[in-house]
Structure 1
Amino acid sequence: MIHGGAFLSGSYSGTQESFVKEGIIYCSIEYRLGALGFMAHPELSKESGKNISGNYGILDQVMALKWIHDNIAAFGGDPDKITIAGESAGGISVSILCASPLAKGLFRGAISESGSSFWPVGESRNGNTAMLTNKAAEAGGLILQKRLKAKNLKQLRKVPAMDIVKNTDFESFWPNVDGYSITDDQYKLYEKGNYNDVNIIIGTNSDEGSMFSRPVSVSDYEKRIHEIYGSWADQVLSLYPAKTEEETYFAQSDIFRDGSFAWGTYAWANLQNKTGKGKVYMYYFDQDSENTIVKSRKGGASHVAEMPFIYGYKFGSGKMTETEQHMEQIMSRYWINFTKTGNPNGNSLPFWTTYQEGKPTVMIMKEGLHLGPVQNQKQMDFFEKFFKEKRK
């Protein structure tokens, strides 16, 4: 299990008892975070021997996977039956590992909840619409160096670690395309069939973006959309209209949901179906539960909301309706079955068919479970065109 936290914070605790009781050996991976895990810097690149820097957190994940692969047999495990899983930044990490040559042969299945890494490569992340080149990422290291009043890398290394942590802004350091652990635009890698082709469970929640959005004035909202999307802004405003300050919150939430989470999952599913052999199981979680970190203001499932249904977590009151308790039993069994066999299906479970583009093959999780079409299809089509243009 690879934890989330925007590559800045987070960890996993506990032993995931529901999985362990089923004979699964559960391992959680810790990795370097923030500037300590993802800061690129020109001097670090120069001394690396590969002229790259950053992505130390990804290298930690790869090393942990290698250790698990080489040693899990001593714990009664099978090195040929390893499944990697993660949520949010952990899900993005799973996506990165699925395309990294460094992780080849280290796992046979992957689960990514609310995370993917299929954005184009660019010189600015600009509203979470691109992965940075290594050169662009180095600029972030120089900004932090200046903030800490260090003149060079030698002086920066003398700064106490906690001072570096305290001066690291949210999302200021992120995985970059270094040509080594992340070799290229992941969308292009998948188009070429150049990835670790394994069975996957991938999906997103209906109100993912609410945790990351705040109301603003309508004029500020429209200005920001024009800054990020340029000539595409009118289409964005048509798909995500806002006439009031409250509506700007909902609009921004949905843009973040679709551009940062849902489209990448959609692209992943379509690309793997076209160029791979690994089976794709896709879900859309839309249960408005009391057992959640942040309650959706419009009804739906915010970021992290699916995790109590899979792993048994309790948030807030921890209350779940009778329907939700049954959903928890089914969803956790899907994840357990997939981890053990590479297929979520089993006796007495609603059959989860593999994803096929344009067909009702997405498992919709709302007041029960049923197969349906891709949700918010117009928005998915827009982001597919928008990101295609950014790749030119």
Structure 2
Amino acid sequence: MRRLLVGLTALAAVLAVPVPAQAGGRPHALVRTDAGWVRGETTAEGRQFLGIPYAQPPVGGLRWKNPKPVEPWKGVRTARDFGNRCVQTASWDPGYEQPSHTEDCLDLNVYVPEGAGRRPVMVWLHGGGLTAGAGEDIVPDTFARQTGAVVVTVNYRLGAMGFLATTGLDGEARDGVSGNFGMLDQQAALRWVRSNIGRFGGDPGRVTIAGESAGGRSVCTQMASPTSKGLYRAGIVESGAYANCAARAHGPAVEAGAAFAKKVGCADLSLACLRGKSSAEILAAQAGFDWGPVVGGDFLPVQPFEAYAKGAASGVPVLNGANKDEGRMFAFAQFDAGGTPLTAERYPAVVTDAWGAELGERVIQRYPLANYPSPTTAYGTAFGDYLMACPALRLNGALATRGPVYSYEFADRTSPPFASLRELDTDFDFGATHVNEVQYLFKHFGLQTPLNAEQRVLSRQMVQYWGSFIRGGVPRADGQPAMPDRSELVLSLRTASGGGNSLSATVHQEHQCDLWDAAVLR
């Protein structure tokens, strides 16, 4: 051992880096990646390494190009602060009061629990509608310790920077399809994990990709992509199956790209013109467009559900679910947040405007105002069932023949609104709305959520469910029913006073999915 330490000291001197220290017997926070040394820090929860670049900054001539491997650096890179957020507007989320105009943002964060041995790995893809958010939106250090998993959170290009589709824009797209740069960033991060995570104590053969909302949709998309094969073992989709995980068709995406280019002042679609625009100009012009992955080509030859039917994600275990009251947040934002709560008189017109006269009439019959405390809640319930709950159940069916699919519904209607909503001066009942489950698993925005005693118990149970799945088993929690691998059964996650965790065969009926499924199939 003494000879080994002497040799290590000599090697460190040659490399001009300090010898790793092990204070208190805990593992050091100095790791050598493929590109160079990084120094993180040791906390009460384990080790963390923040702001590690996994690809070259997509600036200048690399803007709207496929991600390039990060260039090596000399010496030791400090990895104690989050990297830059990718280009995005300001938002109501804590810490997002100012827009980000920084394109040098392709970084990731690694959280390592104490202990030896190869750990399972979870790679978290953040939500935000593919136009907002960052890997730092969750701090999973406690989750990593409790589950024994190494957790990686990822930044990827957003909005126009990540999803601009114009014919011939990406000179490196062998199939002529552009618009998937943000998705390819995610794959670049997964390749970094495959090459480097073993040095952090993770097992590159046991990687679970996970995400919520747009992050869940990203998981859904990556599972359908042939170019992601071999980069992960399992997937977790939280509220991410909206629109059946569908990508944009190539033709309309290119037309939208041309309209965007014209709006930003590059009517001739000149690459030089587009790259000459500042990120602030790009950001200002991207409003009003739909940004997301594009179908066609090597990355995503066919739509996800069609890809699953053809064998994509075969044998991949999936944990998939949604929240009971997904749509309440969206309805609140549309009506009450602006001081114009939906009224009974306007309800029929709003429903008809959303779904057309024929389907709208059936929606009004299925969601009568008498059944809800307010018209906004009635509309939010219908919208959530249409947007999130029923697509999640459809995804279960689409994946059922491909491998195990474990299904849940977060149903704690007493859950505190997530941090962005808690800051609002409102008594609106959000219930178990969109995003609310995230704070039961992680420190959302790095904050401690004010959970009561029963909710803390549910939080621990959810971490156990997620953890056992990440480790490669059936999702289980101490003394609780296992999460079912059957599309007709769903595990409802509730506090003890709310009925506790239980298996339900009625979630499909509760969300009126016969109505919404028939509308989709028409």
| 2:435 corresponding residue in structure 1 | 304
Query: Structure 1's 107 and 46: CA in aligned 2 closer, same or farther, altered over 3 A?
Result: closer
1:157 matched to 2:275: yes
The answer on whether the counterparts of 1:43 and 1:153 sit within 8 Å (CA) in structure 2 is: no
Q: Distance in 2 between matches of 1:376 and 1:286?
A: 18
Of 126, 131, 141, the residue aligned with 2:257 is 141
| 1:364 corresponding residue in structure 2 | 493
| 2:134 corresponding residue in structure 1 | 11
The percent identity for this pair of structures is 28
| 1:282 corresponding residue in structure 2 | 408
The answer on whether the counterparts of 2:175 and 2:297 sit within 8 Å (CA) in structure 1 is: no
Query: Structure 1's 225 and 138: CA in aligned 2 closer, same or farther, altered over 3 A?
Result: farther
The answer on whether the counterparts of 1:73 and 1:79 sit within 8 Å (CA) in structure 2 is: yes
Query: Structure 1's 225 and 153: CA in aligned 2 closer, same or farther, altered over 3 A?
Result: same
- Output the amino acid matched with 2:307: L
Give the match's secondary structure for 1:320.
Answer: coil
1:351 matched to 2:477: no
Q: Distance in 2 between matches of 1:315 and 1:27?
A: 15
Give the match's secondary structure for 2:205.
Answer: coil
The answer on whether the counterparts of 1:272 and 1:280 sit within 8 Å (CA) in structure 2 is: no
Give the match's secondary structure for 1:74.
Answer: helix
Q: Distance in 2 between matches of 1:255 and 1:39?
A: 32
Deviations 1:287-327 (A, max 9, x none): 32235233683452121111121114489883222111111
Of 372, 388, 392, the residue aligned with 2:521 is 388
The answer on whether the counterparts of 1:362 and 1:374 sit within 8 Å (CA) in structure 2 is: no
| 1:87 corresponding residue in structure 2 | 212
- Output the amino acid matched with 1:281: S
Unaligned 5+ segments in structure 2 are: 1-123, 336-341
Q: Which of 1 and 2 has greater Rg? A: 2
| 1:254 corresponding residue in structure 2 | 381
Q: Distance in 1 between matches of 2:297 and 2:308?
A: 15
Report the Cα offset of residue 26 of structure 1.
1.2
What does 1:75-154 correspond to in 2, within 5 Å? 75-116=200-241, 119=244, 131-154=247-270
What does 1:173-212 correspond to in 2, within 5 Å? 173-212=291-330
Query: Structure 1's 345 and 59: CA in aligned 2 closer, same or farther, altered over 3 A?
Result: same
Q: TM-score, normalised by structure 1?
A: 0.86
Query: Structure 1's 363 and 242: CA in aligned 2 closer, same or farther, altered over 3 A?
Result: closer
Q: Distance in 1 between matches of 2:142 and 2:287?
A: 36
- Output the amino acid matched with 1:109: A
Give the match's secondary structure for 1:371.
Answer: strand
The answer on whether the counterparts of 1:207 and 1:303 sit within 8 Å (CA) in structure 2 is: yes
Q: Higher strand fraction: Structure 1 or Structure 2? A: 2
Query: Structure 1's 170 and 336: CA in aligned 2 closer, same or farther, altered over 3 A?
Result: farther
Report the Cα offset of residue 364 of structure 1.
3.3
Q: More displaced, 8-17 or 60-69?
A: 8-17
More contact order relative to length (CA 8 Å, sep ≥ 6) = 1
Query: Structure 1's 179 and 382: CA in aligned 2 closer, same or farther, altered over 3 A?
Result: farther
| 2:193 corresponding residue in structure 1 | 68
- Output the amino acid matched with 1:239: R
Q: Distance in 1 between matches of 2:317 and 2:467?
A: 14
Q: Distance in 2 between matches of 1:162 and 1:107?
A: 35
Deviations 1:117-150 (A, max 9, x none): 55386xxxxxxxxx42011112221222222222
The answer on whether the counterparts of 1:112 and 1:203 sit within 8 Å (CA) in structure 2 is: yes
Report the Cα offset of residue 69 of structure 1.
1.5
Q: Distance in 1 between matches of 2:368 and 2:258?
A: 38
Number of aligned residue pairs? 377
- Output the amino acid matched with 1:68: V
| 2:99 corresponding residue in structure 1 | none
1:28 matched to 2:157: no
The answer on whether the counterparts of 1:291 and 1:308 sit within 8 Å (CA) in structure 2 is: no
1:265 matched to 2:392: yes
1:235 matched to 2:362: yes
Report the Cα offset of residue 337 of structure 1.
1.8
- Output the amino acid matched with 1:89: A
Q: Distance in 2 between matches of 1:247 and 1:353?
A: 33
| 2:47 corresponding residue in structure 1 | none
Give the match's secondary structure for 2:441.
Answer: helix
Report the Cα offset of residue 270 of structure 1.
1.8
Query: Structure 1's 376 and 44: CA in aligned 2 closer, same or farther, altered over 3 A?
Result: same
Query: Structure 1's 232 and 291: CA in aligned 2 closer, same or farther, altered over 3 A?
Result: closer
Give the match's secondary structure for 1:66.
Answer: helix
Q: Higher helix fraction: Structure 1 or Structure 2? A: 1
Query: Structure 1's 189 and 357: CA in aligned 2 closer, same or farther, altered over 3 A?
Result: same
Query: Structure 1's 219 and 190: CA in aligned 2 closer, same or farther, altered over 3 A?
Result: farther
Query: Structure 1's 185 and 235: CA in aligned 2 closer, same or farther, altered over 3 A?
Result: farther
Deviations 1:231-269 (A, max 9, x none): 4332223223459xx944223322331222112210111
Give the match's secondary structure for 1:290.
Answer: coil
The answer on whether the counterparts of 1:41 and 1:137 sit within 8 Å (CA) in structure 2 is: yes
Q: Distance in 1 between matches of 2:178 and 2:368?
A: 40
The answer on whether the counterparts of 2:396 and 2:405 sit within 8 Å (CA) in structure 1 is: no
| 2:178 corresponding residue in structure 1 | 53
The answer on whether the counterparts of 1:269 and 1:355 sit within 8 Å (CA) in structure 2 is: no
Unaligned 5+ segments in structure 1 are: 122-130
